[in-house]
Amino acid sequence: YWSHALGGPLKPCPAEMYTRWIQWGAFSPCMRPHSSKEFGNDRRIWVYPNTYYDIMRTFMRRRAELVPYIYSQGRRAYDDGLALLRPMYYQDPQEDKAYEYGKGQYYFGDDMLVAPVTAPVDNTTGLAEKKIWIPPSSIFYEVGWGIGVKGPAELTWTYDLSEMPVFARVGQVIPTVGGMRADSQCKGPQGSIRTSNVLPSCLGLTFYAGGIMTETDTEGFGGVYEDDGWSQGYEDGAFAYTNVSYSSGVEGYAIIISPPGTAKSPAVLPFLPTERQYEIRVAGTWPPKAVSIGDRLIERADLGERCLADCWTYDGETLTLTVHLVDLRPLTEEMIVAITSLFTPATPLLRRGFPKLVSRAKKVKVLLDNQWGRNTTVYEEDYQSVIALSLQGIKLTYNPATAPQLVQEAIDTLLPNAIKEVQGLTKLPADVKSKALALLDVRPMPHHGDDDAQRKGPADALLTA
């Protein structure tokens, strides 16, 4: 359980450096902000300017959300001696790239790859460049970009201060604390977000599909390990392991949650809840045609709408389906959630970075909107494609039947037009223009057959059909 003093122990830490350090710490075995009592040496994130505080708070919440995954991987370390934080050469010792890139990225448990940004953002673009290596025989989904990458691949991508390269292994389940996101439907106490001695009453299960899951694997497995979080009872069998599996096909997929397997009777495991709610998320997928649990169809709800019973929602900005199982269910029951997709789940469009296109367009819109009152030569009429691109995800949310066309339009039409609009704003201050154009440099993937070994653009590393 190696850790590091986030921010450094002896000196005041600049805001940008501390923000990046917190991001790295969120994906470390122990997250430990720490300093000596020197004057001005403060590690409380809320004493930093709001821009930095908001980012650090987001990553601290992400860390808290990941406690079930981290704790499960801790059990793996206990059983197998395989540390939570692992160098790249553990999996591919024969690959020179594993050593070349090994100082800047690592495995975080079995199913996550993390590459902390350790360089300051460029003053001109507001972005920091990061080189990343995806090992052979691996398929990962870049959580922020919404891009599926098949190894071997060498990537050179750019990240602003709010972004950090985090990859999840496609098709595997990442267990989390449910109820921590804005769109959560979970009710009641969620357990502690600080420790593992209070188990979540709402268990989150996230799959990263990225249009790949049905293309390469027909089934996958994962799960969550739980014990009382404080005693050594696990040495005598006082623990439970909930297996989660999926099977996929050309029309959709099924997710199966099995009753917890225990070495002892659940009756003698007082730490284990008798019933639970669940949040099942599938990132990088089309809107579903139907979602069912057992033989019962689940109704759709709009984002922000409170569900009184089981429901599902779809977020077009992130291409994420969430199944909200808000009805408490006994842990002794097996659950099968079947998802039928409106369109073929394995499709290149789902791995071309649409979520990042939308996210970056929203940031560019803010940059341009903020010119109001400062620069009266820039008006909304001058950047309509930027606005349209920033709203394309919301449009997709409420028009699921045209989802592929909307993604294609964003890539083929709105993005090029948005770039031309910004280039044409001749009275826009040079520093604002350079940042806006850099944010819009999210080129979609080349067509199959293009060969760029370095894959310099973010989407140049995308899987192709």
Angle at CA of residue 176, ends 173 and 180, nearest 5°: 140
Least confident interval from 264-273, 285-294, 309-318: 264-273
Q: What's the CATH superfamily of 172-188+196-348? A: Golgi alpha-mannosidase II (2.60.40.1180)
Greater pLDDT, 345 or 450: 345
Greater pLDDT, 268 or 344: 344
Greater pLDDT, 452 or 204: 204
3-state helix, strand, coil in the chain (%, to 5): 30, 25, 45
Task: Report pLDDT for 305.
Answer: 85
DSSP-derived pairing of the beta strands 166-169 and 139-142? antiparallel
Mean pLDDT across 428-435: 94
Q: Please report how the helices 384-398 and 415-423 are oriented relative to each other, as an axis angle in degrees rounded to 10.
A: 160
Task: Report pLDDT for 321.
Answer: 95
* 378: CB partners within 8 A, 6+ apart: 368, 371, 372, 425, 427, 428
Write down the mean pLDDT value for the chain.
Answer: 87
* 90: CB partners within 8 A, 6+ apart: 82, 107
Angle at CA of residue 372, ends 369 and 375, nearest 5°: 115
Task: Report pLDDT for 464.
Answer: 35
Q: Give tens-digit pLDDT for 83-141.
A: 999 999 999 999 999 999 999 999 999 999 999 999 999 999 999 999 999 999 888 99
* 144: CB partners within 8 A, 6+ apart: 159, 163, 164, 165, 166, 355, 356, 359
Q: Is the pTM of this model over 0.85?
A: yes
Mean pLDDT across 283-306: 92
Mean pLDDT across 312-335: 94
Does residue 450 have a pLDDT over 60? no
Domain boundaries, the chain: 1-64, 172-188+196-348, 352-440
Q: Are 285 and 209 in contact (CB under 8 A)?
A: yes
Question: Virtual CA dihedral for 305, 187, 144, 287, nearest 10 degrees?
Answer: -50
Task: Report pLDDT for 192.
Answer: 45
Q: Give tens-digit pLDDT for 20-30.
A: 999 999 999 99
* 163: CB partners within 8 A, 6+ apart: 117, 144
